[in-house]
Amino acid sequence: MRRVVAWLPLVFLVAACGGEAADPVDATSPVAPTSAVAVDPEVTASGPTTAPEPTAAPTTSPVSDPPADLLGQELVGRWAHYDVVAYEDGVLKTLIISYGFNDFSVDDGQIIDSAQFCFSEQRTDQPIETSLSDAATQAIRPPSTPVEVDVVDGVLRIQRSATPTPVGIRLDDPANEPLPTDPDDPRIVDDDGDGNPGITVTIRVSDDLIGELYIARREIFAYEAFLVEPDLITGTVTDDSEQLVIGVSDPVFAGSGAEWVQHPDLTKSPIILRRVESDWDCDRLVAERDALFPPTPDVDW
């Protein structure tokens, strides 16, 4: 699910995998579900009707007994997706906020998670605006994968392992094949269809300084989350994505790569999934975003 990161001499970071400012949502601890923080809006069959407010997660499971035939089958269906990844290095702090869907299904006795990204946004602690088109965000297509489902302290836990996903480049072995160091590598492709290699990041430093970066990425994303209510999943994400800067529209934007590191406090990288109807699409998610999820957070550390 998504998160394009770029570096300049002026220093910035970009969302990928696309609210107004508010504090980030505290999410489930990766150790114990009793430390989760959930949101508790009223939800109808057609979607939520009120904006979420943080509330303490229950200490007992919303499903007291596992299904007789398959643990986790109550997950089956479409869930609207919100996640934040907090990055930092010595000079920049950044939040990448991604939106999309997770579709859970059953296949051969396993719960399968199929993820789709719709749009993304970003916040940094510097006055630099960056944007990624919806086409670029939607080009991130993680493969469907089984999730591990168990019960921890009476609460259903869902763990999705990382499925390394190339975007802007074709890799025969996405999990193990290293990203190239050559920006002219023939495996680089125009995944967002804008006529430029890789996917395009637009940067606005000022009215007089606007440009583009062309990026190839390997998205490496995983989560651990808990079914705190029948229609609400909260947890945390981990991200180890890698990036190659292919080129720039103006030499002023040329710079060396930076090793961005996810902030060690995973409560700053929450994931929230809310059950929605099967016919929801990206347009509906844009329209209902404020009713589903907390306001877009700002960097607060």
pLDDT tens per residue across all 301 residues of the chain:
445 544 443 333 333 333 333 343 444 333 333 333 333 333 333 344 343 443 344 444 444 444 446 899 999 999 999 999 999 877 788 899 999 999 999 999 999 999 999 999 988 888 888 788 999 999 999 999 999 999 999 999 999 999 999 999 999 999 999 988 888 899 999 999 999 999 998 888 888 999 999 999 999 999 999 999 999 999 999 999 998 889 999 888 876 445 678 999 999 999 999 999 999 999 999 999 999 999 999 999 9
Domain-embedded: residue 28: no
Cα–Cα distance list, 243 to 4, 79, 177, 218 (Å) = 8, 28, 13, 6
Q: How far apart are CA 27 and CA 114, in angstroms?
A: 22
Residue 69 lies in a domain: yes
Answer whether residue 121 is part of any domain. Answer: yes
Per-residue confidence (pLDDT) for residue 122, from 0 to 100:
85
Kindly tell me the burial class for residue 233, based on how many C-beta atoms sit within 10 Å of its own C-beta (0-12, 13-18, 19 or more): buried
> For residue 67, what pLDDT is reported?
44
| Cα gap 108→9, rounded to integer Å | 51
The β-bridge partners of 96 are 85, 122
Could you tell me whether strands 129-132 and 221-229 are parallel, antiparallel, or unpaired per DSSP bridges? unpaired
Q: Name the domain count of the chain.
A: 1
Question: For residue 22, is it within any domain?
Answer: no
Range of the domain at 258: 33-292
> Looking at the domain assignment, is residue 285 inside a domain?
yes
Question: Which of 222, 227, 237 lies closest to 57, judged by CA?
Answer: 227
**Amino acid occupying residue 222:** A
Residue 301 included in any domain: no
Contacts for 182 with CB less than 8 Å, ≥ 6 apart: none
- Put residue 223 in one of left, alpha, beta given phi > 0 → left and psi -120 to 50 → alpha: beta
Residue 11 falls in which region: left (phi positive, over 0), alpha (psi -120 to 50) or beta: left
Q: What pLDDT score was predicted for residue 29?
A: 37
- Taking a C-beta distance cutoff of 8 angstroms, is the pair 62, 74 a contact? no
Domain assignment present for residue 148? The answer is yes
Helix (H, G, I), strand (E, B) or coil at 183: coil
pLDDT at position 20, please? 37
Cβ distance 266 to 26 under 8 Å?
A: no
Transcribe 110-163 into DSSP letters. Answer: EEEEEEEEEEEEEEESSS-EEEE-HHHHHT--PPPEE-EEEEETTEEEEEE---
Q: Is residue 17 part of a domain?
A: no
